[in-house]
Structure 1
Amino acid sequence: MSYFVFHLLFVLPPILFLAWIQPQPLAGVGGLRAWLGLPLIAIVAFIYTTPWDNYLVWRKVWGYGSDRVLGTIGYVPIEEYLFFILQCILTGLWLYWLLARQPDSTQQTASPLLRVLLMVVGVSLCITGILMLRSPSTVYLGLILAWAAPVLTLQWVIGAAILQAMQRIWLIATVVPTLYLWVIDRIAIGDGIWQISEMYTTGIQLFGLPIEEATFFLVTNMMVVQGLLLLLLLKLPKLEAIASVDSHQART
């Protein structure tokens, strides 16, 4: 199975299904934020992930079968760049579907202690990731944490109130696509579409899936879900009037 066929079989069908069943107004709020949310998150993810993933392949942290891809740009297969975008759309559409069935949450307050605690957790994850780079067996996990932790920390500090108010949606929106991506990632590795280096991994596996890959999909889905929640629900004074008008028009 090629990487492109993998997308056709496992990634595109759930995206098309979720797009088909999306209720209106989109994400329960409609308006410009909802329509621009997915492409904006996908573009940001593409830009942020591209140099990091190229480094991983160059470092031989992971690789791919040359006969399984259409071609490469830099060190990374074309299908991998496509996956950056498709994962954002998949997870984003699932979140949108959940939000459309979630009663409006007006509470957007978080204690300063929560913000400080989240900042400490985020900084600790980043430092842990950097320290892990000292040992070959934890290089992949360290690169994941050092790369993801700054974004997660920023989202936690800025959006603590929203994430606290939407914790149930946040959990379901993150866990479900993460579990699905774990399953299909395990299928791809088993089929030899891509390979994970034994030298740069701990050897710990979750039902045959390297713990590093499981961590990667967890943190990336967290970044997508949290980014969209902040984009859709963060109350910015200058945008509130526009957002309220868009929401009213979408509901009528």
Structure 2
Amino acid sequence: MAVPLTYFGVHLAFILPPLLILGWLAFRRDRAWWGVRPLSGLGIMIGLAVVYTTPFTNHLIPESVWWYGEGAVVTTIWHTPIEEYLFFVLQPILTAFWLFQIPATADRSLAIPLTHRLIGIGGGLLIAGIGWLLTGGTSTYYLGWLLLWSGPILAIQWGFGLTYLWTVRRPVLVAIAVPTLYLWIVDRLAIELGIWVISDTYTTGHMLLGLPIEEALFFLLTNVFIVQGIVMYLWLLDRIHEVPTLSQALTRVGATSDES
């Protein structure tokens, strides 16, 4: 039986309207982020989302971790529907346009304690390690791959700017929470309509607000990637004067060699 709403219909009904409204507000509001810097950060996030998520979905879909209802998608590229690739683009835009309403900035140097960087890297790698162990189980297969997939990105982001993220934690948490809750609602509706189906075999059976915990975690993690990535990108641009240029670095190396 064909589904009452297609995956593309989900984009038209639930993703594009808030995206356009938030984009218009960011463009119009003086206090919102807009312009080359935040939009270039968004562009980078979109590129990374497509490149990094494509192998992930194309590994799990053939394993029947999830599948799509009859008539729910137009066609697939590799194993993934084109609507899913479109979501790789639309989700970063939606989340970023919400983030732009509540800029997360602080006057803090790029030089953060080494111990903080090591804690951030270690935390991300620990998540990846737990994920790797969980991939060995059947009911934890989806959860394990989520953690294994997300851990390296978290290690990079936290290793670079854990201290700064803690400094701006309040707007960052709001920027993550609101689109995550919204996408949880959309995801639950899509599952109830049969647009996509999550396997009972490869999930733990634990639910959060009516969603499989794995689905809830996916949207949380991806929004964490987007918000943290853009916030730290703009922090880097604001403090770029602290980063030695290549010529300065070479000069220092040369001076050190002469002294020795």
TM bucket by the smaller chain?
A: 0.7 to 0.9
Given that 2:58 and 2:80 are in contact with CA atoms closer than 8 Å, whether structure 1 keeps it comes out as yes
For normalisation by structure 2, the TM-score amounts to 0.85
**1:34-80 deviation per Cα after TM superposition (whole angstroms, max 9, x unaligned):** 23121221111101101111111111111001411111111111100
Residue in 2 aligned with 1:9? 13
Alpha-carbon separation, structure 1, partners of 2:31 and 2:46: 17
How large is the Cα RMSD of the aligned pairs?
2.0
CA shift for structure 1 position 232? 1.1
Distance in 2 of aligned mates of 1:133 and 1:37: 33
Q: Give the partner amino acid of 1:236.
A: I
Which residue in 2 is equivalent to 1:88?
92
Q: Is the 8 A contact 1:137 1:200 kept in 2?
A: yes
Q: Which runs of 5+ in 1 are unaligned?
A: 241-252
Q: How does 1:6-155 map onto structure 2 within 5 Å?
A: 6-22=10-26, 23=28, 27-28=32-33, 32-99=36-103, 104-108=105-109, 110-155=112-157
- Inter-partner Cα distance in structure 1 for 2:31 and 2:154: 25
Which has the larger share of helix? 1
* Match among 211, 222, 226 for residue 220 of structure 1: 222
Alpha-carbon distance change, 209 to 111 in structure 1, aligned in 2, over 3 angstroms: same
**Cα deviation, residue 24, structure 1:** 5.5
Higher RCO (CA-CA < 8 Å; seq separation 6+):
1
Contact 1:123 1:149 in 2 (8 A): yes
Q: How big is the shift at 1:95?
A: 0.7
How many residues are treated as equivalent by the alignment? Answer: 237
Overall identity of the aligned pairs, in %: 44
- State whether residues 119 and 159 of structure 2, in contact with CA within 8 Å, keep that contact through their aligned partners in structure 1: no
Partners of 1:141 and 1:201 within 8 A in 2: yes
Length-normalised TM-score, structure 1: 0.88
Indicate how the Cα distance of structure 1 residues 82 and 239 shifts in structure 2: closer, same or farther if over 3 A, else same. farther
Match of 2:188 in 1: 186
Q: Deviations over 1:146-196 (max 9, x none)?
A: 001100110001012321221111100011111111111000001000001
Structure showing greater Rg: 2
Matched position secondary structure for 1:5: helix
SS of the residue corresponding to residue 106 of structure 2 reads: coil
Q: For structure 2, which runs of at least 5 residues remain unmatched after alignment?
A: 245-260
1:199-239 alpha-carbon deviations (Å, 9 max, x no partner): 10000011220000011011110000011011111123388
Counterpart of 1:198 in 2: which secondary structure?
coil
SS of the equivalent of 2:74 reads coil
Alpha-carbon separation, structure 2, partners of 1:32 and 1:5:
31
Q: Contact between 1:204 and 1:210, CA under 8 Å: does it hold in 2?
A: yes
**CA distance, structure 1, for counterparts of residue 171 and residue 243 of structure 2:** 24
Which stretch shifts more, 35-44 or 221-230?
Answer: 35-44
Q: Deviations over 1:99-134 (max 9, x none)?
A: 1xx6x5212464433333222221111100000011
Paired AA for residue 32 in structure 1: V
